[in-house]
Amino acid sequence: MGMDFLTSAPIVLISFLSVLCIVVDALTPKSERITFYFAGFSMLAAMLMAAFTMPNTGTAFNGMITTGGVATFFDILFCMGGLLTLFAARPYILRENVEHDEFYTLILYAVAGMMVIAHAHNLLITFIGIEIMSVSFYVLAGYFRSNTKSVESALKYFLLGAFATGFLVFGMSFLYGSTGTLDYTVMANNIQSGMINFPMLLSVGTGLLIVGLSFKMAAFPFHQWVPDVYEGAPTVVTGFMSTAGKAASVSALMPIAYAIIGESGHQVAGLLAIIAAGTMLVGNISAVVQQNIKRMLAYSSVAHAGYILMGFVANNEKGMTGIVYYVTAYLFMQLGAFVLVSLIERNIDKQLELRDYAGLSKKHPVIAALMAFFMFSLAGIPPMAGFFGKYYLFIAAIESGYTWLTIVAVISSMISVYFYIGLVVQMYFKDAEGEGIDAHQPGLAGLTLTVATFFVIALGIMPSTVEQIARSFFK
Amino acid sequence: MGELGYLAVLSSLFVPLVGTLAVGFIDRNQKKAIQWTTLVFSLISFVLSLPLLTSFNLSDSGFQFEINKVWIASLGVGFHLGVDGMSALLVVLTTLIMPIAIFSSFDAINKREKEYYAMLLFLQFGMTGVFLALDTFLFYVFWELILIPMYFLIGIWGGQDRIYAAVKFFLYTVVGSLLMLVAIVWLGYYAQQNAGGFTADIVKLREIAPTIPSHIQQWMFLAFALSFCIKVPLFPLHTWLPDAHVQAPTAGSVILAGILLKLGTYGLIRFNLELFPQASVTFAPILSTLAVIGIIYGALVAIVQTDVKKLVAYSSVSHLGFVVLGIFSMNQEGVQGAIIQMINHGLSTPMLFLCVGVIYERRHTRDISEFGGLTSVMPRFCVLFAIAMFASVGLPGLNGFVGEYLTLVGAFQSPYLHSWWYAILSATGVIFAAVYLLWMFQRVMFGTNDNPKNHSLQDVTRNEMATLIPLVILIVWLGVYPQSFMKYSAQSTKSVVEKIHKHHQGTMQASR
């Protein structure tokens, strides 16, 4: 038992610290600064712990939790996302005069929930993790409580999210009914050896699980909540939800894909392929007509879920590696883009139209250049990180015989180029009407942008670093 | 001597990149410093690239000065650079055209100089990379890298409809290249299935790819060909070119015509011919037919243009048709002719665009009807313009003639085209070229100078001379003694042609 605490140190630590964070918060008046630093250091500590425990692969606490391996890689990713969000969020909420210490606590909670998801080795733990994360998100989305859009966003997210969670639990109960267990390894063994009751129940359960996770991941046809929620939520929070949040849902699907889908064969892969194709096409085509930059990025985030799903369709070593790589690259480029949006945004929901960005490159050359840089990366133009992610997933899909899916992905990438460079057209080629817009001083957000830029370049030029680590998990 | 070649490979690639960064550190108000730094870097890369030719081993048909470092081990991707005769010529053409394009912008570009010159050097980095890359992945990275600076060059410093032209250019190219990406991935996958490991290395793929079953080879061929034919541009994929040319600043047009279009024809030889010999034989008649249509169509459309720049742009469509025709003749004359025609077009068309730039700078219009009788006020310009024009027409003694002649001979004798009509019809393109160029020249330069705005035009300045004279020298040199350039690509062309022949014989016997 003592060893269990050591090997699962990151998750133990973050759970303990996030509970402690509330206590600290309650005991100290006017504690925004303290909470900010507390949350930051908690994530930093968890990140270090995750790095240390990465080689100790195994399970802990009676097989409830996996330790080491890809789970710890995701830990690092979530903590990184959390930290970057924290840095960008502080100047943002200070500007809007709504700094409360709960904000930082909630981000810490969300990260803790995500880490629980990544470490889950049991459907129940996955469920608990998803709930911790989602509830934090519901509150964060409605954080600007005097803004109706933000409140609407929170309510919508909460109602639909709760509905999706229902599907998730329902699916889990079916799986339990069929296999008699909630443990991933046992479940996989039972399915493989045919020790299941009512095979029908298994398929229905898997289907319901996919529905629930598709919702969390913002995949077609369960993506309709995304634009409204992403538009209404505070911009930095949107960045956090759409990157780390998506990565967390992906990490939830990962063991399920390995244990259940891997065994029940081609049917589910075909279903996922259709979902992936639909997600990519619908996301990108809808993004083309958006006028609001947050909505555009929301639809683009839907599309990226589709690319990630390609890895699950392939469901082989390359596919899984590709997913881990893609999620990493995506985290930095999408978060970077949202942080830039938050710098330009005024009074919560002004200056968010694409045409507001006209002539930005003249007034704010650095911000415009960074935005263009993230857009090119999202569009998958080499040598930025986004390109290699796509390349890898294409290889995975072709290797498992899904050439048609790769072609769909290519076509949707072509469509996506149109709207990503559309923003560049506004910033560089159009002239501003009148004065042009002002951007805020980045302050701490500058740190976020520097780190994100660094990783987008580094991952693009030296992809093999992360790729080798990721591949070692799936040998 | 060999070491110099390696140095040339590295420096012609990385000097422009270092230059981009250097320009980035100069204050944006120091315009002179920015201009001269850029020019110096491009001149350095030109000088350092020359050993590619001087140290070149003429009897070797393979790649030389190869540098190969593992990049992504699990995918067999390497940072693999090297040249054969064709790419050595094209790299030096690139490093030659760039200083000229940069110098010609000194007076013409008056806004956001810092970004402009950084973009130019970055563009050079990408283009040299494409010619040097011996790895499909690396090739693709450079191929896409070019898009970004070119897109900004057209979009920021272009003319009236620049946004439309920039977006059109970007979308056309991306559509083609993404399908190529799928084909690149598929090739690596095929190597994993049949040759024991995922690879992107072109040298290895040259051995593996021709063994792909022919029905799949055809799909691969088409995926690559689409991307390259858009870039060439081959009829009917050419519509982005006139827009891009007309809207781009002069230096942009010079680079576009001088180098960028060659990326497409280079790709056709490097990938389509070398990797898919069987499919090349299958598709040769179709692509040659399109090339012939392009030759005639481009020429006919050029005749009716009222905008000088658009006229030159359409003449590119026509001239590049000869290159494609030569490539798909797939014999020694044809492919050699295509390569030399690439170099020719890379010298004479930039010169034409520079000449158009000269009159545009003075009058800010390119409408032919606005001009007339310029000879009387610009005598020196008349001579230079005439040389460029005759080179483009294909007058014997100047460079254009050699390439066109060889490609026509190639098409005539090609064992894969089975018809004289390709050569005969394309030969009319030469005649049409004389029509549209001479007629344009006559309307602009001769006649009476009756437009008062043209009465006091300044003759070519010393700066403009500096950009035009080097091209004149090369145009004459190539026209009089083409062998000094053709010798570089002779061996590699020979091996390509023989390889196609061998595979063709193989399939003929198999079908018998």
- Residue-wise pLDDT for B463-475, tens only, equals 888 888 888 898 8
Alpha-carbon distance B202 to B184, whole Å?
A: 10
Q: Does A274 touch chain B (CB under 8 A)?
A: no
- DSSP H helices in A347-402: 360-363, 365-379, 385-399
What's the pLDDT band for A264 if we cut at 50, 70, 90? low
| The amino acid at B25 | F
Alpha-carbon distance B169 to B233, whole Å?
A: 11
The residue-averaged pLDDT of A270-293 equals 91
Cα-atom radius of gyration of chain A, to the nearest Å?
21
Chain B residue with minimum CA distance to A470: B74
Report residue A120: phi and psi, to 5°.
Answer: -65, 135
CB–CB of A395 and B167 under 8 A?
no
Higher pLDDT pick, A415 / A262: A415
Is the pLDDT at B229 greater than 60? The verdict is: yes
Which residues of B are less than 8 Å from A395 in CB distance?
Answer: 75, 185, 188-189, 198
pLDDT in tens, B251-308: 888 888 888 889 989 999 988 888 888 888 888 888 999 999 999 998 989 888 888 8
CB B99 within 8 Å of CB B117: no
pLDDT in tens, B204-213: 888 887 888 8
The residue-averaged pLDDT of B216-224 equals 88
Alpha-carbon distance B344 to B346, whole Å?
A: 5
Residue listed under structure tokens 């990503």: A420
What's the pLDDT band for A333 if we cut at 50, 70, 90? very high
Q: How many CB pairs under 8 A join A and B?
A: 80
pLDDT in tens, A408-428: 998 898 889 889 988 888 888
User: Residue A93's pLDDT is what?
Assistant: 87
CB–CB of A467 and B74 under 8 A?
yes
CB A268 within 8 Å of CB A175: no
Chain A residue with minimum CA distance to B28: A365
3-state SS, residue A122: strand
Chain B residue with minimum CA distance to A461: B71
Alpha-carbon distance B507 to B511, whole Å?
A: 6
Residue ranges of domains in chain A: 265-475
Q: Does A407 touch chain B (CB under 8 A)?
A: yes
Nearest-neighbour CA in chain A from B172: distance (Å): 9
- Start-to-end CA span in chain B (Å): 50
| The amino acid at B29 | N
Joined together, the tokens standing for residue B367 give: 């409408």
Helical (H) or strand (E) element with B68: strand B64-72
Question: Which of B462, B453, B254, B416 is closest to B351 using CA atoms?
Answer: B254
The residue-averaged pLDDT of A123-132 equals 92
| The amino acid at A20 | L
Residue listed under structure tokens 């425990």: A53
pLDDT in tens, B338-371: 998 898 888 889 998 988 888 888 888 888 888 8
Which residues of A are less than 8 Å from B156 in CB distance?
Answer: 428-429
Contacts of A19 (CB under 8 A, 6+ apart): none
CB A233 within 8 Å of CB A149: no
Is the pLDDT at A221 greater than 70? The verdict is: yes
Residues 417..456 of A with a Cβ closer than 8 Å to B: which?
A: 417-418, 421-422, 424-425, 428-430
Mutation site, B21, B75, B177, interface A, largest A CB count within 10 A: B75
Residue listed under structure tokens 């540098």: B67
Which residue of B144, B152, B186 is in closest CB contact with A381?
B144
Question: Which of A460, B139, B23 is closest to B15 using CA atoms?
Answer: B23
Cβ contacts of B437-443, under 8 Å, gap ≥ 24: B437/B315, B437/B389, B437/B392, B437/B393, B438/B389, B438/B393, B439/B303, B440/B308, B440/B311, B440/B368, B440/B389, B441/B385, B441/B386, B441/B389, B443/B368, B443/B369, B443/B371, B443/B372
The residue-averaged pLDDT of B192-202 equals 81
CB–CB of B181 and A391 under 8 A?
yes
Q: Does B168 touch chain A (CB under 8 A)?
A: no
Which residues of B are less than 8 Å from A320 in CB distance?
Answer: none
Is the pLDDT at A263 greater than 70? The verdict is: no
pLDDT in tens, A83-96: 999 999 988 888 88
User: Residue B460's pLDDT is what?
Assistant: 81
CB B71 within 8 Å of CB B134: no
The residue-averaged pLDDT of B65-82 equals 84
User: Residue A128's pLDDT is what?
Assistant: 93
DSSP secondary structure, B153-215, as one string: HHHHH--TTHHHHHHHHHHHHHHHHHHHHHHHHHHHHHHHHHHSS---BHHHHHHHGGGS-HH
CB A218 within 8 Å of CB A304: no
Q: With both helix axes pointing from N to C terminus, report the angle between A225-232 and A293-314 in degrees, rounded to the nearest 10.
A: 130
CB B163 within 8 Å of CB A425: yes
By residue count, chain B amounts to 512
CB–CB of A394 and B74 under 8 A?
no
Joined together, the tokens standing for residue A440 give: 């805020």
CB A264 within 8 Å of CB A179: no
User: Residue A331's pLDDT is what?
Assistant: 94
Question: Which of B147, B149, B197 is closest to B173 using CA atoms?
Answer: B147
Which residue of A383, A414, A468 is in closest CB contact with B178?
A414
Alpha-carbon distance B176 to B179, whole Å?
A: 6
Question: Which of A465, A460, A452 is closest to A379 using CA atoms?
Answer: A460
Residue ranges of domains in chain B: 284-512
What's the pLDDT band for B125 if we cut at 50, 70, 90? very high
DSSP secondary structure, B433-490, as one string: HHHHHHHHHHHHHSS----GGGTT-----HHHHHHHHHHHHHHHHHHH-THHHHHHHH
Mutation site, A417, A431, A462, interface B, largest B CB count within 10 A: A417
DSSP secondary structure, B246-262, as one string: HHS-HHHHHHIIIIIHH
Alpha-carbon distance B404 to B321, whole Å?
A: 10
Alpha-carbon distance B234 to B229, whole Å?
A: 5
Percent of chain B predicted with pLDDT > 90: 6
User: Residue A266's pLDDT is what?
Assistant: 58
CB–CB of A391 and B185 under 8 A?
yes
Report residue B186: phi and psi, to 5°.
Answer: -65, -40
Alpha-carbon distance B163 to A10, whole Å?
A: 51
Alpha-carbon distance B324 to B233, whole Å?
A: 10
- In angstroms, the Cα distances linking B329 to A12, A262, A327, B273 are 70, 51, 47, 11
Which residues of B are less than 8 Å from A413 in CB distance?
Answer: 174, 178
Bond into A383 cis (ω within 30)? yes
By residue count, chain A amounts to 475
Q: Does A471 touch chain B (CB under 8 A)?
A: yes
Contacts of A434 (CB under 8 A, 6+ apart): none
Burial category of B304 from C-beta neighbours within 10 Å (exposed 0-12, middle 13-18, buried 19 and up):
exposed
Can you give the three-state secondary structure of A53-104, one letter per residue?
Answer: HCCCCEEECCCCEEECCHHHHHHHHHHHHHHHHHHHHHHHHHHCCCCCHHHH
Is the pLDDT at A34 greater than 70? The verdict is: yes
Out of A110-114, B3-7, B81-85, give the one with best mean pLDDT.
A110-114
Nearest-neighbour CA in chain B from A382: distance (Å): 5
pLDDT in tens, B411-466: 888 888 778 888 888 888 888 888 888 888 888 888 787 777 777 778 888 888 88
Among A224-233, A342-351, A356-365, where is mean pLDDT lowest? A342-351
What's the pLDDT band for B2 if we cut at 50, 70, 90? low
Joined together, the tokens standing for residue A366 give: 């650095």
CB B202 within 8 Å of CB B134: yes
pLDDT in tens, A110-123: 999 999 999 999 99
For all residues of chain A together, what is the average pLDDT? 88
Q: Does B152 touch chain A (CB under 8 A)?
A: yes
Alpha-carbon distance B156 to B34, whole Å?
A: 18
| The amino acid at A190 | N
What's the pLDDT band for B512 if we cut at 50, 70, 90? low
Is the pLDDT at A101 greater than 90? The verdict is: no
Which residues of B are less than 8 Å from A381 in CB distance?
Answer: 144-145, 147-148
Which residues of A are less than 8 Å from B189 in CB distance?
Answer: 395, 398-399
User: Residue A1's pLDDT is what?
Assistant: 62
